Each structure stands twice: as C-alpha cells, then as structure tokens.
Structure 1
Amino acid sequence: MKKVLLVEDSSVVIKVIKHLSKDQQDLDFDIAKSFAETKEFIDANGAGYYRTAVVDLNLPDAPNGEVVDFMLGLSVPTIVLTGSFDEHLRDQMLEKPIVDYVIKESRFSYEYVLKLIRRLELNRSIKVLVADDSRTSRRFVRAMLEVHQYIALEAENGEEALQMISQDPAIKMVIVDYNMPVMNGFELIKNVRRDVTRNKTILIGLSAHGTKGMSAKFIKNGANDFLAKPFSHEEFYCRMMHNIEALEQLESIEHAANHDYLTDIPNRRYFYERAERELVEAQGKGLCSCVALMDIDYFKAINDQYGHEGGDMALIDIAKLLHKAFGRFFYARMGGEEFAVLMIGLPIEKAEVLAENFRELVEDSILMLGGSSTSVTMSIGLVSDQQHTLDELVNEADKLLYVAKEQGRNRVIVES
C-alpha cells in the first residue's frame, strides 16, 4: 500500500480526490486539513512513511506556502495545489524542487494529480543516464530527474556512457549532450542504435541555443527527442513523461503480442522467435540444449466436467507450476493445453530429472476448479540438441509426446 499525505483544507477537493482514486486500491491517503495536523502525522509516522505529499499552497495556519517548504525539507516528493496562479507565483514554485504545481480548476486537475502520483511510483524503477562532460550540467539534470524519483546515473563522455549502457540493460533513457570528449553525442547515439537489443532505449539530445539545425541532426542520427539549453523545468518534465509513457505503451503492446492472454506466459509465436535465436547462439558456443513438449492429459474431460472456465483455471495453475519448475529457462504456452520449454546449457540427463520432477509436481498438486478440488497429470516428450533447428527439435519432441500418450500418459519419454 502506497501512503500519500494529502494536505488540503477544502472538503470539496478532498472528496473529489478520494472519489477519483477509489479504483486505485494501492493508494492510501492520510488527510491533514492544516499545517498543525500535517506535523502531527509526521510526528506519528515519520517522513519516510509517505511516498508522496499533495499539498495546498495556502492553508489557514500556513498562508504563504510554509507547509510546502516543510515537506520538501523532509525530502518527501511534493505536488503543490493552488487555487490561483500568476507568473510571479510560477517563478517562485519552480525555484523549489517540487514535483509540479496544479491549479485547482476542474476534475482534470485532480486526475492529473493522481497521474503524477502513479508516475512517481513507476519512475522509482527507471534508470536514466546523463551523458555530459560538464559536471555542473550533469548535476543540474540529475537533480531534476531525482525530484521525479528517477534513478539517475552519470557519464562524462560518450565512451563511458556506451560502456555503462552495454553493462546495464535496466537503463531505459539516455540524455546526451552533443559536445563531449572521446565520443560526441551523435556518435554515442549511432553506437547505441547499432545494438538491436537497444532499439527501444529513449535517447534525448541536449545542446545550447545557437547551434543551427542541431535538433534535426540529433533526430536524424537516432534520437527520440531534443532539448535546447537553457530549458524550463516544465518542458523538461513534460518531455521526460511523454517519452517514458510512449515507451511503456510500446512495451505494453509488445507484451500483449508476445504473451498468452490467459496465462500471461510467452505464446507460440514468441517462443519460435526467441527460442530460435537463443538456440543458434547456444550452438555457436557449443552448449548443450534440450526441448520439452508437454500437455495436460485428458484435458477435454476437464472442460466437459468443469466447463471452459474450469479448464482456463487449470491452464493458469499449470503455467504457475511451469514457472516454479522451469523459472530459469524459457517456456511458453504453444496452444490449447500444450506447453514447451527450452533448456539452454543443460544436458539431457539433467533435463530429464527436471522434467520428471515437474511431472510429479503436477500430479501431486491439488487444483481448485469451479469450487471443486481435482488433480491432473502431464505427458512430456524430451529431446536434446545435436545441431538441429528449433523446428526439428519441436517436431521430434512432439513425436515423443505422442509415444507418452500411447504408453498410458503421465510419463516422460526421452529420445533414445
């Protein structure tokens, strides 16, 4: 549960925010209606108790934004609510390390507040690399990123940045200055884009005003976006959020395309795409590999007795057992009640032990289907790679699976 401190004296605003957040069951608000009550919550729980604070700028006992400075002093990410706004107030707010300021205008203002709270939570797992030879510029950008809870990293030239990117797949965004020694921003971006595993990494160019055509050059070399120095806080955060959300949407689409809608494990199409690549790579390194093809015995009878909903529940449970038994390997639902596992770097003898352990695990597990308890069994065909293609291995495993069915089911048949 993510705790949020809402400091607001308006009962209407409190009611609106609570209503809009009712579907977000992972959010829990503590509500303070004054600066004094805010201090009481902090004294009782400690500053680290709250993931975020949403704070009204003007309270009866803190009319000049004192509560904002109080929360910032405790290093709590703070979103400021204000009923009125002008340029002077805007400048005052942007001098402080607040997450954002929101004018209390309409329902959309409070929806944006909730969006910011969710965004901050997601940002806590996102690594952003700042590549700039200027220590001052790096620290400035890093500080801005950390206000929005990104995990910020630094590199002082393109070569160092490229090395960090290659060693840390968790880096999702790189902010790149053009003028750097050893390797400039353009060369860094081109090198990152040459790596097919990095085709989704967000690359944002930075450069000072006055360099004609710099934004176009960055984008033509593979950057997603460009920021001209000096830039405003608002522009910086809007571009960060826009690019991260675009990446998340792409990842969501790819996940849906690559995973089975029911069990949320990889699907047949993705199995062939990724397993073929991993198998060829393993063969190039001289590693042993095995493929197991398996399906649930008498699955039609399960559907007949418990209905298709019961059959779906059985498939979901089997997928969970697959993860328990083969979590370090690549597995997928091939369709219907059939599953496959690719075991890279494992000789057939050890793969047989794993397959037999999985068969026993399934047989001994009690499944709850439609309010009734039952058990199922699995038949498994297992083959090892001898410089075969993935298609050849799957076809051979399928033949052995058929033999397992013919011999009475609930068994592992290994290539002779």
Structure 2
Amino acid sequence: MSHIKKVLVVEDSHIVTKVLRHVIKTDPGIEAVYAASFAEARERYQQHGETLFAALVDLNLPDAPDGEVVDYTLSKNLPTIVLTGSFDEERREKLLSKGIVDYVSKEGRFSYSYAINLVNRLYKNQDIKVLVVDDSETSRNLICDMLERHKYQALAAVDGVDAVRVLLKNPDVKLLITDYQMPNMDGFELVQNIRVKYEKSDLVIIGLSAEGQGSLSAKFIKNGANDFLPKPFNHEEFYCRVMHNVESLELIEQIRDSINRDNLTGLFNRRYFFDRGEELYRHARESGSPLAAVVLDVDYFKQINDRYGHEVGDAALQQFATLLDDTLGRFVLARASGQEFFVLLPGLNNEQAISVIDKVRTISTATPIQAGDHRFSLTFSAGVTNQLCDDLDAQLNLANTYLLRAKDAGRELVIGDEEEE
C-alpha cells in the first residue's frame, strides 16, 4: 500500500527551501510541491489541489506579508503547519485560534525535521479513533475540534455510562480522554470499569480536570489512567501529551507484531498462527461453521539451495512469501518452518478452499522468481482439510498427510477431503 503524502511547501527563502528539499528527500513517504510566493502557491494548488495532503507555509511572503497564505490554505481545508523566522506569543495564539496544526520556528534542521515528521503523524492519525468524554458540551466540542485538526477520528460521550456504550460499538478506539467531574459515572469510575477489559497497552486513557486538587493526577493514574492533564491547557501541551501516548502505544504494537513475525519472510510465525488458530478452531466447533486448514510446501526446494546456494534460496522464499501474502493475506497465513506454510480459511468449505489454493498454485507457477542473476519458478504442493478432528494440531496433521500424498503423486498438486473419500 502506498503512503506517499503530497505536501505544498510555500517558502521564499532559497536557503530554507534548500534545507527543506534535503530533509524531504530523506523521507520516501513525502512528495513536495514547491512555491516561492503566494501567487505561486495558488497556481500550485490549482494544479495539485485534489492530491495535496497538507501545507507547510512561510508566514511572511513578499506578496503576502501578513500571513494571507495561511488563510488561503486553511480555506482549502489543508492541514497547515506554519514556518516562521521569529517567535511571537500573540501571533502564535492568533494562528492557533484560526486552526493551524502547529507553529514551527526556523531554528535549525531539527525544526524542519519536526515539521516533516508532523506531516507523517497527521497521516497516521487518520486511522486512530479517540473518544472524548466530558459532560460540558463546550469543552467536549473544543477537544474534538483540536483532535480533528490533527486528523484523528474524534468520537464523543457525555458521561462514563455513555462512554462505555460508545466503546462497545467502537472496540478499535485507541485513546480515551475523560473529564473527572461528570454525572452518572465520573472519570475515576470510568477508568476503573475500562481497565477490567482493556490493559494500558491496549487503550490509552488521559484524565482531565479543572479542579485544583494536586492529588487528582495521582488518583487518576492509580486508578489506571496513562496520563493526566489539568484544565485549562494550551495547544502544544495537549498535542504533545496526546502524541507521546499514541506513539508509545504504537511502539508497543510494533514490538508485539515483531514477536509474531517470521524473521526471514515477514509473515506471521507458528506462535501467532496457533494463538489465532485456536480461537478460530473453537469458534468453528461451537458454531458449526466451516474451517479449512492448509499445509503447503515448496516443491524441490532443497535442489534450489544445493544448486544456487542458501542466499538465493532465502531470496526465493521471501518472494514466494510475498506472493502468498498478496493472495492469501486476508486469511490466517504463517510460515511454519523452512519451505512449509500454514493457512486457515474460516468460512470456506473444502471445495472452495481447494479452489482458492489451486488458483494460488497456478499463479505461483506462472510468476518467475528473480534472485540475483538467477530466474526460475517455484511450484508447491498442498493438503487441505475441513475435518476438525480432536484439535487444531490434529487437523493440521491430517492436512499434512494429504500434502505428503500430493508429493507422492508427482507434486504440483492440491489434495483435499474429497480426493481422500
């Protein structure tokens, strides 16, 4: 999936533009469209408007000395990051009240890197749901507006009871921001209730309160919140706290994901396969729904290693795994060991599962592997069974029996339950 973000960069200084070009060039996810004046910025928008994701603009331009370009980009609903050569508190407040994303001083390369990283952060935020819980409509709307300015998906609840209802409908919420003093269920009670189901590493909670008690922050955190922010707060502090907590959550998710991945191919490993597979197996048992288990093995792989060497063999497995991920990634797919792979296809009967795997086999045969100077095709054999047996391991053993029969029958075959009847 492509993650290229096209950004309108409006800057009249040749030196600053040169630095920005260098910083942006090091980020393969950013593509910049440059303008040196307000007039050029309007032209670039006319040319690229529909494809632009954000704007990075200089506050003072020769033909727009009073920040007119900011009003322009905001009017086009472009998330706007302002670059300025001087820091002015009054101007900063005015710009933030207009709805800019951030205000960055030109104080060195780090400032420009920060601005580019912020564009990437905005892009990621589009997939992050945040639930705001506050009985004050004014406060609730303010926080939601601030979140949406940074491209988060903001949901709202009027109290703790309402928040639980919204969470049940949106189990993929990653961050919850809750006020303390609310009717029906206050912030502390809400946090306690949520922590029964969600760990701190699954759902971040930030507590808020306008009350002056110094112990509130400690009480919130002792009840299970990740962080606390007193009201009133300024824009920077709010965004920094939210960003810090979201990035911490993403780091934990990356670590979890890496534990579940095969080092060579990037596919899921046996550990993840059996953890997820046991859930699907239990569901199939309880509901009577079909669950197809597949064991597939690359044909003659030892000969590839013997002929070309293990480096070429590894490259071939990586390309083969990519093909499997492209065709079977919507199912539960894992590298079992060596050249062997497991797949679970919930909801498909044996005939349907065999058809899917056979199509993948045909694609694999027709797709050449390019490893260094060597070019060849990989074929595979597979066993497919929908017999649930005593447990998932036994079902996979049966699929493996079918696989061995496919090998004995000449390879490049998919054998399922019907062939064994």
TM-score, scaled to structure 2 = 0.89
Q: Secondary structure of 1:203's partner?
A: strand
Give the letter for the 2:40 counterpart. Answer: E
Q: Quote the residue 2:289 is aligned against.
A: 287
Aligned in 2, Cα 1:352/1:19: closer, same or farther, shift over 3 Å?
closer
Q: Quote the residue 1:2 is aligned against.
A: 5
Q: Deviations over 1:127-162 (max 9, x none)?
A: 222122221111100111111111222222323322
Q: Secondary structure of 1:52's partner?
A: strand
Give the letter for the 1:253 counterpart. Answer: I
Aligned in 2, Cα 1:142/1:78: closer, same or farther, shift over 3 Å?
same
Q: Unpaired runs of 5+ in structure 1?
A: none
* Matched length: 415
Map 1:68-83 → 2, pairs under 5 A: 68-83=70-85
Q: Quote the residue 2:313 is aligned against.
A: 311
Q: Secondary structure of 1:111's partner?
A: helix
2:1 matches 1:24: no
Cα distance between partner residues in 1 of 2:360 and 2:44 = 51
**In the alignment, which of 151, 154, 157 is matched to residue 155 of structure 1?**
157
Percent identity of equivalent pairs? 48
Q: Deviations over 1:306-363 (max 9, x none)?
A: 4334323432343344345534421111121000012233344443443444444434
Cα distance between partner residues in 2 of 1:412 and 1:295 = 10
Map 1:223-238 → 2, pairs under 5 A: 223-238=225-240
**In the alignment, which of 118, 121, 132 is matched to residue 119 of structure 1?**
121
Q: Quote the residue 1:165 is aligned against.
A: 167
Task: Report if aligned partners of 1:379, 1:405 keep a CA contact under 8 Å in 2.
Answer: yes
How far did residue 298 of structure 1 move?
Answer: 0.7
Q: Quote the residue 1:143 is aligned against.
A: 145
Cα distance between partner residues in 1 of 2:74 and 2:64 = 15
Give the letter for the 1:14 counterpart. Answer: T
Task: Report if aligned partners of 2:388, 2:395 keep a CA contact under 8 Å in 1.
Answer: no
Q: Unpaired runs of 5+ in structure 2?
A: none
How far did residue 220 of structure 1 move?
Answer: 2.2
Task: Report if aligned partners of 2:267, 2:325 keep a CA contact under 8 Å in 1.
Answer: no
Q: Quote the residue 2:98 is aligned against.
A: 96
Q: Secondary structure of 2:98's partner?
A: coil
Which stretch shows the higher mean deviation, 62-71 or 114-123? 62-71
Q: Quote the residue 1:51 is aligned against.
A: 53
**In the alignment, which of 61, 84, 87 is matched to residue 85 of structure 1?**
87
Aligned in 2, Cα 1:7/1:348: closer, same or farther, shift over 3 Å?
closer
Q: CA RMSD in A?
A: 2.6
2:142 matches 1:174: no
2:264 matches 1:275: no
Aligned in 2, Cα 1:391/1:15: closer, same or farther, shift over 3 Å?
same
How far did residue 65 of structure 1 move?
Answer: 2.4
Aligned in 2, Cα 1:311/1:175: closer, same or farther, shift over 3 Å?
same
Q: Deviations over 1:394-416 (max 9, x none)?
A: 33333443343334333234465
Aligned in 2, Cα 1:409/1:32: closer, same or farther, shift over 3 Å?
closer
**In the alignment, which of 367, 380, 383 is matched to residue 382 of structure 2?**
380
Task: Report if aligned partners of 1:120, 1:148 keep a CA contact under 8 Å in 2.
Answer: yes
**In the alignment, which of 17, 36, 45 is matched to residue 39 of structure 2?**
36
Cα distance between partner residues in 2 of 1:37 and 1:312 = 50
TM-score, scaled to structure 1 = 0.90
Cα distance between partner residues in 1 of 2:147 and 2:229 = 14
Q: Deviations over 1:230-270 (max 9, x none)?
A: 11111001011111111221122222211223332211121
Cα distance between partner residues in 2 of 1:351 and 1:38 = 54
Q: Deviations over 1:347-406 (max 9, x none)?
A: 444434434444444344443444554323222233334352223333333344334333
Cα distance between partner residues in 1 of 2:366 and 2:42 = 55
2:13 matches 1:13: no
Give the letter for the 1:398 counterpart. Answer: N
Aligned in 2, Cα 1:196/1:287: closer, same or farther, shift over 3 Å?
farther
Aligned in 2, Cα 1:46/1:339: closer, same or farther, shift over 3 Å?
closer
Aligned in 2, Cα 1:387/1:162: closer, same or farther, shift over 3 Å?
farther
Task: Report if aligned partners of 1:192, 1:198 keep a CA contact under 8 Å in 2.
Answer: no
How far did residue 293 of structure 1 move?
Answer: 1.2
Aligned in 2, Cα 1:76/1:214: closer, same or farther, shift over 3 Å?
same
